[in-house]
Amino acid sequence: MVLIIAEKPSLGRNIASAIGKLQAKSGYMEGEGYLVTWAFGHLFSLADVEKYSPNPDGTARWCREVLPCFPQKFVFELRRGDNGKPDSGIEKQFRLIETLANRPDVEAVVNAGDADREGEIIVRLCIGKALKTKKPVLRLWLPDQTPETVRAALADMKPDSEYDHLAGEGFARTYIDWLYGVNFTRYATLRNGALLRVGRVIVPIVRAIYDRDMAIRNFKPEKYLVAQSRAQTDGETVELTGKKKFSLAEREKAEALCKLYNDTGATVTAVKKKKTTLAPGKLYSLSKLQSVLGKKFKMSMTDSLAIVQKLYEAGYLTYPRTNSEYLATAEKDKMKQILKGVAALGYPVRFKDSKYIFDDTKIESHSALTPTYKIPSPTSLTEDEKKVYSTVLRRFVAVFCSEECTVAKTEMTISVGKLEDFILKGTTVLTPGWMKYDDGGQKDKVLPNLSEGDAVNVTFAPLEKETTPPKHYTIETLNQYLKNPFREEKAELKEKEENGEVDDDTEEYRAMLEGVELGTEATRTSIIDNARKSKYIDLKKDVYTILPGGIHLIETLEDMHITMDKYKTCEMGRSLKKVFRGTLSVEESVALACREIADVFHAADADEENSTGFFGDEIGECPLCHSRVRRTSFGYGCAGYKDKGCRFTIRMKILGKQIPKSAAATLLRDGKTPVLSGFISQKTGKPFDAMLTLEENGRVGFAFPPRETVPEDSIPFVPPVF
């Protein structure tokens, strides 16, 4: 007997169906020499801090004394329910797996986790915990779940040890995310007094949206002038806009330039026409598909991933969590077979052996998303499922379309003497080809019917324009940023996409394969969803915005000097890719994370003088009711609020300056603080120094240090110049 352990019941059923008629048992299926059972996703999770560093008082409360926590050896335990107690369903299923794995007639065990690092370790953990004797462990790798693929994969299973590097990356990522999440979440929450979810990836994602929204809020539009002409030549309107910008105070200069342009006149100096074939978009990675679905249907990443996953489990699409837009060269015969099924639907497709489609150097674990041999019937899908499946199918048809898309491109240069050249570009679709099937096409942009040497009428005049703020992140633009946070979004790249030109994406794939990205295709959606559930960010239609909770998270972490930026996150991503390639051990990558975390705690301890302390810290006596004053989430407040109704508070941040616990304690004790620097004037926006004072009514005021006087005889004599 061969025991196959699937990651989830749906996969187990698909495997059993491909094998043949297996008899259903309680929690597994049996027949044809196979036992097929399953996990429910993660059956095991890492033990909590208390397993490694028990609290001094023996309770399960969070405390600073056990942080940072760096386990010598990580321990996995059966997952618990929301009540903290063992989950009976999970425990029952694992005991079944344990029993089946140790049956005397089971000669080999098969890891049938999803074909990625997470699926690898989910089932690997089950096997490692369940097996009591040494048996061969094999890997069933399924790029899709059609019966044909399952049967072919069963005949070509490899030892699970060949996937050790993949498992190593999965374990390293799990350990590192636990280290960051547990240590910083507990520390930040203890400091803040309310739960703050701090993670290696969630913080830089929220930070990106925070930075963009703050730039929009603080944006101050500026008006400027440009020279623009909009006049008719031979009955056609020609619009020309100069590149030089003038401030409103420079209107006379703008008018002088416009007069010079009008006096000089304009002429068509070049007309280039070119008939070319337009390439379709590439096959979809998960992120690119989610971007298109978000833009076109306003479908959230969570919803689109759930639908793609469902279509994969139904056997209609290939494995969804892929970061590539290319196919492996070994899949050419497979694509020929799929194309036969697509052609039977009436689409004009043919096999194309092109580097634009097949490129092994741009595939990490999984090829691009494509349809499979299995074609859904018109009534088998919901409306949203039809939208997702149709989007993938139509892009597949476009890539392999037998009808070429041809366009006529025109580039016209209109010169105003030798003062400035204006370049106009236009495109006319001659034969739509693949554009009929994939609506990523472009619209015609027709230029005036002018020839080289023709004079062009101009009426240049100053036109007032206004600078525009940055745009909020959308599903599409946030995905672009997360895939390569260090690549600037350049206008020419967008123009290339709009024109259907083939862009050299070598740099993007190099960055992705090196780990220079925020999150992965497998994790990004759930992390963004957690940020939404935590009320850090909001998604309306396809636009992300920061919420007050997100502002509080980022600014609180800044105040605590916890830097979780894209640079450090990507540095950890690089180390994980080295584990995958076998050039770095799991232990070495975890040690890097531990050093990074330890540095934050050391810096916090060293900066005690400027620290705001921890929630609940007592700092002195209330000047109004003589109760104790304690550190709160937003300042230092009187503990007599409930009993005596006392509202005495020292805000934690005053005019942009964070007030340390030591300064607040001094204010209560002495009635004033030492001179503090870093206050920002609301009127001028300039920094200033001041002392905080405590008035009789309990209000906090300002006192300014006396200006130093300079002895007159110390001022050097400078002779006047006549």
Q: What is the pLDDT of residues 179-234, one digit of tens each?
A: 999 999 999 999 998 899 999 999 999 999 999 999 999 999 999 999 999 999 99
Residue 175 banded pLDDT, cuts 50, 70, 90: very high
219-228, 242-251, 670-679, 708-717, range with the lowest pLDDT: 708-717
* CA distances in angstroms from 683 to 658, 680, 686, listed in the order given: 19, 9, 8
DSSP 91: H
pTM summary value: 0.87
Among 45-59, 120-134, 512-526, which stretch is predicted with the lowest mean pLDDT?
512-526
User: What pLDDT is stored for residue 100 in this prediction?
Assistant: 98
Q: Are 695 and 650 in contact (CB under 8 A)?
A: no
The pLDDT of 404-416, averaged and rounded, is 95
8 A C-beta contact, residue 311 and residue 385: yes
Q: Identity (one letter) of the amino acid at 681?
A: S
The answer on pLDDT for 451 being more than 80 is: yes
Partners of 429 in the β-ladder: 407
Do 199 and 438 contact (CB within 8 A), yes or no? no
* Structure confidence by residue, pLDDT tens digits, 302-339: 999 999 999 999 999 999 999 999 999 999 999 999 99
pLDDT of 365 reads: 81
Task: Read off the pLDDT of each residue in 447-459 and give the average, rounded to a whole number.
Answer: 95
Tell me the torsion sign for CA atoms 686, 687, 688, 692.
Answer: positive
Token match 């003589």: residue? Answer: 626
Residue 682 predicted with pLDDT over 90: no
Closest by Cα among 184, 174, 262 to 461: 262
Cβ-based burial of 609 (10 A; exposed 0-12, middle 13-18, buried ≥19): exposed
Query: Rounded mean pLDDT of 338-358?
Result: 96
Cα 405 to Cα 435: distance, rounded to the nearest angstrom = 7
Flag whether pLDDT at 498 surpasses 80.
no
Q: What is the pLDDT of residue 85?
A: 79
At 617-655, the pLDDT tens digits run 999 999 999 999 999 988 999 999 888 899 999 999 999
Q: 125 near 44, Cβ under 8 Å? A: yes
Q: How many other C-beta atoms lie within 10 A of the C-beta of residue 81?
A: 11
Instruction: Over range 660-666, report the average pLDDT.
Output: 95
Backbone angles phi, psi at 439, to 5 degrees: -80, 30
Please state whether the peptide bond connecting residue 68 to the residue before it is cis, i.e. omega within 30 degrees of 0: yes
- Is residue 531 very low, low, confident or very high in pLDDT (cuts 50, 70, 90)? very high
Take residue 609 and report the two structure tokens written for it: 């003088």
Task: Identify any residues that bridge with 226 across adjacent strands, giving them in sequence order.
Answer: 463
> What confidence tens digit (pLDDT) does each residue in 59-76 have?
888 999 999 999 999 999
Three-class secondary structure of residue 347 per DSSP: coil
For residue 504, pLDDT over 80 is answered with no
Confidence class for position 357, pLDDT limits 50, 70, 90: very high
pLDDT value of position 231: 97
Cβ 614 vs Cβ 191: under 8 Å: yes
Nearest to 640 by CA among 656, 665, 621, 617: 621
Confidence of residue 499 (pLDDT cuts 50, 70, 90): low
Name the band, by pLDDT with cuts 50, 70 and 90, for residue 721: very low
Tokens encoding 491: 């206008």
Cα 484 versus chain centre, distance: 9
Kindly list the distances between the CA atom of residue 79 and the CA atoms of 45, 46, 88, 93, 128, in Å, as whole numbers in the listed order: 6, 9, 10, 12, 16
- Long-range pairs for 583-589: beta carbons < 8 A, 24 or more residues apart: 585/168, 586/168, 586/171, 586/172, 586/175, 589/172, 589/176
| Contact indicator for 388, 371 with CB cutoff of 8 Å | no
In 222-378 the beta strands, taken as DSSP E runs, fall at 223-233, 236-241, 246-247, 266-278
Nearest alpha carbon to residue 224 among 250, 204, 263, 201: 250
User: What is the Cβ-side half-sphere exposure of residue 292, based on CA atoms within 13 angstroms?
Assistant: 19
Q: Are 206 and 537 in contact (CB under 8 A)?
A: yes
Element (H, E) at 78: strand 76-78
Strand, helix or coil at 43?
coil
Q: What would the pLDDT profile of 91-112 be if each residue is shown by its tens digit?
A: 999 999 999 999 999 999 999 9
Question: Average per-residue pLDDT in the chain?
Answer: 91
Residues 141-158: pLDDT tens digits? 999 999 999 999 999 999
C-alpha to C-alpha distance for 364 and 77, rounded to whole angstroms: 31
Position 503 confidence tier, pLDDT thresholds 50, 70, 90? low
Give burial (CB, 10 Å; 0-12/13-18/19+) of 1. Answer: middle
The helix (H) or strand (E) run that includes residue 302 is helix 301-313
The pLDDT assigned to 457 comes to 97
Is 712 or 537 the better-scoring residue by pLDDT?
537
